[in-house]
Amino acid sequence: MAVKKTSKRDSRAGGPTIATSVYDQLRDDIIKGAIEPGHRLGTDQLRGRYDVGISPVREALNRLLAEKLVCFEDQKGFHVAGIGEEDLYDLIRMRCWAEETALRESMANATPEWEESIVLAYHRLSRTPRSAQSEKFEFNPEWEVLHLVFHTAFLANCGSPRLLAHCELLADQSKRYRQLAASISFPARSEGDEHKTLMDKALSGDVEAAVEAHHAHLRKTMEIIIHSGLSLPAGKIAV
């Protein structure tokens, strides 16, 4: 029943329209840094890159506007949102606020199922290598997914769809900075210990300690990005 008689074009699951497909790809390309911050997103250029017409491209761009991944000016077109130290600082600060709230609520509503979901997410993450290669750093998509799941697990019990959605949006924005930094300076910190600390504090029920560990983790992320040699600022910031 879930799978209908899909026809010709539908090679993707979930988003049959071209606009949605372009949206997903473009979003990925921006977050991964495949298209540089501040880069002009001309219609013809994108039309060629994804081999589609103008309409779906425009549709995708307008959706990304919402997420602050692209910026726009009437009659002048779209750009990839710029990056900057100021913006990164603001972003991390916002994450601290939002995730602190979500974490406190989640812990207040703690249930065995919630705790188990964290343990499970940690276990899976810890068994997956940070880098696809053992000698030098290489992007490992599997780890990236598990990492996101792990962090979301803490917040997922907060009971507020809006707050959770907002946290995820901010996490995506951070991801862009992180990917950009990683593409420059390889040796990522070993985050294993930090993640274990986060889990232990959250499961211990000590709210203040858990919040403090969370803040420290976020701040460290910011510092690593800033010290990665990533050239900042570049282009207009969207907000």
The residues of the shown chain that bind DNA, judged by CB under 7 A, are 4, 6-10, 16-19, 40-44, 52-56, 58-59, 74-78
Cα(231)–Cα(228) distance, integer angstroms: 9
Q: Which does 10 bind (CB under 5 to 8 A by kind): its own copies, DNA, none?
A: DNA
Look at the block and give the residue holding tokens 């964290």.
118
Q: How far is the CB of 6 from DNA (least distance, A)?
A: 7
- Give Cβ neighbours of residue 134 (< 8 Å, ≥ 6 apart): none
Q: How far is the CB of 30 from DNA (least distance, A)?
A: 16
Cα(106)–Cα(149) distance, integer angstroms: 15
CA–chain centroid gap for 57, Å, is 22
Q: Does 93 bind its own copies (CB under 8 A)?
A: yes
Q: How far is the CB of 160 from its own copies (least distance, A)?
A: 5
Q: Which does 8 bind (CB under 5 to 8 A by kind): DNA, its own copies, none?
A: DNA
Burial 12-33 (b: 16+ CB within 10 A, else e): eeeeeebbbbbbebbbeebbbb
- Token duo for residue 60: 């995708």
Select the residue interacting with its own copies from 43, 128, 131, 160 (CB under 8 A): 160
Segment near its own copies (CB under 8 A); pick from 9-17, 26-34, 45-53, 137-145: 9-17
Partnered with residue 80 across adjacent β-strands are: 70
Q: Does 65 bind its own copies (CB under 8 A)?
A: yes
Q: Which does 161 bind (CB under 5 to 8 A by kind): DNA, its own copies, none?
A: its own copies
CA–chain centroid gap for 24, Å, is 13
Cβ burial, residue 99 (10 Å; 0-12/13-18/19+): buried
- Token duo for residue 143: 């780890």
Binding string, 98-137, against its own copies, x = CB under 8 A? ---x------------------------------------
- Token duo for residue 144: 């990236």
Select the residue interacting with its own copies from 5, 136, 161, 193 (CB under 8 A): 161
Residues at the interface with its own copies (CB under 8 A): 15-17, 20, 55, 58-59, 62-63, 65-67, 74-75, 90-91, 93-94, 97, 101, 160-163, 165-166, 239
